[in-house]
Amino acid sequence: MAKPSSNNPDKIIFKGLDGVYADVTAISEVHAQEAVLTYRGYRINELAEHKTWEEVAYLIWHGELPNAKQLANFIQFEKTHRNISPTLSRLICSLPSSAHPMDRLRTAISFMGCEDIGANDHSPLGLMERSVLMFAKLPTIVATIYRTDKRMPIIEPNPKLDYIDNFFHMTLGGKPDPVIKRAFDVSMTLYAEHSFNASTFAARVVTSTLSDIYSAVTAGIGALRGPLHGGANEAVMGTLQDARDAGGVDKYLAGVFARKEKVIGFGHRVYKNGDSRVPTMTKYFHNVAKLKRREDLIALSDELAAAIAREKNLFPNLDYPAGPTYALMGFPESIFTPMFVMSRITGWTAHVMEQLSDNRIIRPLSAYNGQKPRKLPKK
Ligand code: COA
């Protein structure tokens, strides 16, 4: 909402940059009114239903879906670059286990930048290669964090397995049920890209100074971590648990609204009529819940969503169905947001490349409302 600054009425403040177009992008388009999102012109629900996560990742970076040869080459590159250096593996294991997995992930990406002597390479080829390298190594980093926390031996990546089977192999140590694998694939597609959201914008701001791609991704991780952004998927299970513990949805909401708290998993800056990604993710959440015989979770989640729509005209965002889906798969809540990073790395790095292709440093103005000019006190 634009408002004149209280001290400088001639200066209009767009708090939270609400409603501001900061630049153009050809990567994705949010049609807020119709609750539609497209990646490179394709509707995300169609991509999620008919294309694999690897095809979507390729599309986000290259602007076109891959042909069979391009896809095979891309998959081969990803499979052969999953290993992280022994130093990085040791570093991850040595970080305090009290630190949140997102903090350790942020440090790991920052460290990858230190290991890469060409980190400042801004050539299109160099940027693309580093983007795909981070994409290939992130599951290994997340799995290393997960297994360190569980005090379980690290499982090396297996190049014979595809991206998703390999991630489940390195974390939970088995092959996922096809229903779970499909839901995970869909979640990766839906989380991949969302125009100028806070973490992508943070990555673009860093890039606009001509800093390196690892610094941009590190900034993206820092921004995504918060519960108002990606950290929401971790907090959603808490929302559902609190509703259950309060003895029902109505009692829970009465308390939340009285305390003027936000219900994590609801609301969105851009979508006011519902999040484009929610119907597809909800379908796959239901599939997994039915597989796990947790229809009770579907009922609770539906009841809470209906009550918040009735009371506040607020609708779920993607984190609302994604959080319980990941929980039912057997992942701990603390790695839900790192799994989001495994997907969003595609969007962030595509934006880094787009920003550099037509760069201007991002530097907004501020309307000063501090002390009037004054003299230093005499000694
Ligand atoms: N629970 C309760 N009330 C909410 C709400 C929520 N999740 N989201 C928004 N509102 C209310 C606000 O309190 C505000 O009410 P008011 O006008 O009476 O003060 C109004 O709706 C507008 O919200 P605002 O915080 O100004 O929206 P925003 O565009 O600045 O923020 C979010 C967007 C996503 C940060 C916000 O909806 C939120 O905090 N949601 C919960 C966190 C979450 O799920 N994040 C993941 C986003 S994908």
Long-range contact pairs involving 295-303 (C-beta distance under 8 Å, separation at least 24): 297/240, 297/324, 297/328, 300/240, 300/243, 300/244, 300/249, 301/240, 303/249
What is the set of active-site residues? 268, 319
Q: Which amino acids bring their CB within 6 angstroms of ligand 1? A: 16, 228-229, 232, 262-269, 312, 314, 317, 319
Test site for ligand 1: of 266, 275, 315, 319, most ligand atoms within 8 A of the Cβ: 266
Residues 6+ apart with CB under 8 A from 62: 70
- Using the atom order of ligand 1, give the atom closest to the CA of residue 270: 29
pLDDT digits (tens, 9 = 90+) for 176-227: 999 999 999 999 999 999 999 999 999 999 999 999 999 999 999 999 999 9
Whole-number average pLDDT of the chain: 96
Banded model confidence at residue 251, pLDDT cuts 50, 70, 90: very high
Q: pTM above 0.75?
A: yes
The string of DSSP letters for 185-217 reads HHHHHHHS--SS-HHHHHHHHHHHTT--HHHHH
Token pair 């936000």: residue: 262
Query: At residue 350, does pLDDT exceed 90?
Result: yes
Joined together, the tokens standing for residue 261 give 């708290």
CA of 267 to the centre of ligand 1 (A): 5
What is the pLDDT at residue 242? 93
Joined together, the tokens standing for residue 132 give 């795909």
When pLDDT is averaged across residues 285-294 and rounded to a whole number, the result is 98
Query: At residue 141, does pLDDT exceed 80?
Result: yes
pLDDT digits (tens, 9 = 90+) for 21-67: 999 999 999 999 999 999 999 999 999 999 999 999 999 999 999 99
When pLDDT is averaged across residues 320-332 and rounded to a whole number, the result is 98
CA of 32 to the centre of ligand 1 (A): 16
CA of 314 to the centre of ligand 1 (A): 8
What is the pLDDT at residue 218? 98
Long-range contact pairs involving 99-102 (C-beta distance under 8 Å, separation at least 24): 100/225, 100/334, 101/142, 101/145, 101/146, 101/149, 101/334, 101/335, 101/337, 101/338, 102/221, 102/224, 102/225, 102/231, 102/337, 102/338, 102/341
Edge-first strand order for the sheet with 36-39 is: 28-31, 36-39, 42-43
Domains of the chain: 43-225+338-357 (1.10.580.10), 232-329 (1.10.230.10)
User: In 3-state terms, what secondary structure has residue 69?
Assistant: helix
Test site for ligand 1: of 15, 228, 234, most ligand atoms within 8 A of the Cβ: 228
- Using the atom order of ligand 1, give the atom closest to the CA of residue 317: 48
- CA neighbours within 13 Å on the CB side: how many for 11? 12
